[in-house]
Amino acid sequence: AQKITQTQPGMFVQEKEAVTLDCTYDTSDQSYGLFWYKQPSSGEMIFLIYQGSYDEQNATEGRYSLNFQKARKSANLVISASQLGDSAMYFCAMSRGGNKLTFGTGTQLKVEL
């Protein structure tokens, strides 16, 4: 079965420090995509970053980078220089079979002064 696992229900980080949010996935597909979304308390889903299964380089978008380890089936999100506005729920997701998107259960990140 296709599955996304986020083992950290909650994380705390101090402002300006880096934080890694873990994500492992399980799929038998050769071609798939991995995404991270941010959900602030207001509820909207904000797309952060994408990694294709055939991409050799780790994806980066500003302060966000995706640490993609294909053999380990992990796709961890790294946020550098955390800001108070980064406090939110973060979801890892995988597109599979070309038409389905599976989400993990999320990690609640709290950035502290």
Q: Which residues bind other proteins (CB under 8 A)?
A: 4, 31, 33, 35, 37, 43-45, 47, 50, 52, 91, 93, 95, 98-106
Of residues 85 and 98, the one with the C-beta less far from other proteins: 98
Q: How far is the CB of 7 from other proteins (least distance, A)?
A: 13
Of residues 55 and 78, the one with the C-beta less far from other proteins: 55
- Cα separation, 91 vs 39, whole angstroms: 8
Picking from 35, 41, 25, 34, the residue whose alpha carbon sits closest to that of residue 109 is 41
Q: How far is the CB of 47 from other proteins (least distance, A)?
A: 3
- Report the Cα 80 to chain-centroid distance in Å: 14
Q: How far is the CB of 112 from other proteins (least distance, A)?
A: 23
- Cα separation, 99 vs 110, whole angstroms: 33
Of residues 19 and 92, the one with the C-beta less far from other proteins: 92
Of residues 15 and 52, the one with the C-beta less far from other proteins: 52
Report the half-sphere exposure of 7 (CA within 13 A, side-chain side).
Answer: 8
- Cα separation, 14 vs 5, whole angstroms: 25
